[in-house]
Amino acid sequence: MNLIDQNLRSIKQRIEAAEAAAGRQKNSVKLLAVSKKQPIEAILLAYDAGQRSFGESYLQESLEKIMALADHAIEWHFIGPIQSNKTHGIAAHFSWVHSVSHLKQAIRLSDQRPPELGNLNLCLQLNISGETSKSGASADELPGLASEIAALPRLSVRGLMTIPRYSDAPNQQRQQCADTQRLYQSLQTQHPQLDTLSMGMSGDMEIAIEQGATIVRIGTALFGSRN
Ligand SMILES: *Cc1c(COP(=O)(O)O)cnc(C)c1O
């Protein structure tokens, strides 16, 4: 067994334990393997261990991997910043995008999504910490943004993504995750099709699962540190 295989097993155990601790169903949380800045060999090791969903943040780098692994049954998720010149590549090569925070980005993704690929699954990124350095829509902007984007063709709005501000104090992490869950649930009353809360990374996945995450995005705990 290689290290990535071992890490994958222990992450799955952590997820399962967190699901149980929160009284949630087994397998209600999906693991997204964040492979940004990791070589193709690392992705293949995770793939051989059974992992099928991978997250990437940098378009150029990800397109090389997607081309090289075209004959593998991988579901690719784009989780990085979206500049306008990136939307075409995202729309043409990814199944999911987690980092949409402006209507303009969504309009471009909708226009550029090849219809034969089916809808692009989309999460709105919420800036829950309010830090100006972070991307993401504010809580106030979310309802309007969700309604405008839900009306666009070739996109399926699935939920929210957030990156809480790191804190040594678990309760501050927990509070941000709880606030995100509350906003998610209030959006669900307008948009009952929402089923995805993308929240939790290597350092805070237990808290995120406790607060309702349905996708955790795990990089370093699986692959080790990035180059
Ligand atoms: C890099 C990244 C991750 C993975 O973070 P780790 O701490 O390495 O698990 C998750 N989400 C986003 C948006 C990222 O950019």
* Structural domains of the chain sorted by starting position, each given as residue range(s) with its CATH number in brackets: 3-223 (3.20.20.10)
pLDDT at residue 216, as a whole number: 98
Would you state the structure tokens that stand for residue 16, as one six-digit string?
A: 């399962």
Model confidence, pTM: 0.97
What pLDDT, on a 0 to 100 scale, did the predictor assign at position 77?
99
Site to substitute for ligand 1 among 217, 222, 226, most atoms within 8 A of C-beta:
217
Q: Which of 77, 79, 160, 161 to mutate to test the pocket of ligand 1 (most atoms within 8 A of CB)?
A: 79
Query: Where residue 167 falls among pLDDT bands split at 50, 70, 90?
Result: confident
Closest CA to 208 of 174, 158, 183: 174
| Span of 20-24, 139-143, 151-155, 223-227 with lowest mean pLDDT | 223-227
Whether 227 has a pLDDT exceeding 80, the answer reads no
Distance 27 CA to ligand 1 centre (A): 21
User: Is 149 in contact with 124 (CB distance < 8 Å)?
Assistant: yes
Q: Name every residue whose Cβ is closer than 8 Å to that of residue 130 and which is 6 or more positions away in sequence.
A: 138
Which residues on adjacent β-strands are paired with residue 88? none
CB under 8 Å to 82, separation ≥6 — which residues? 90, 97, 99, 100, 105
d(CA 47, CA 67): 16
Q: Is 202 in the pocket of ligand 1 (CB under 6 A)?
A: yes
Exposed, middle or buried, 19 (CB in 10 Å: 0-12/13-18/19+)?
middle
Ligand 1 neighbour 34 (Cβ under 6 A) = yes
Nearest CA to ligand 1 atom 11: 217
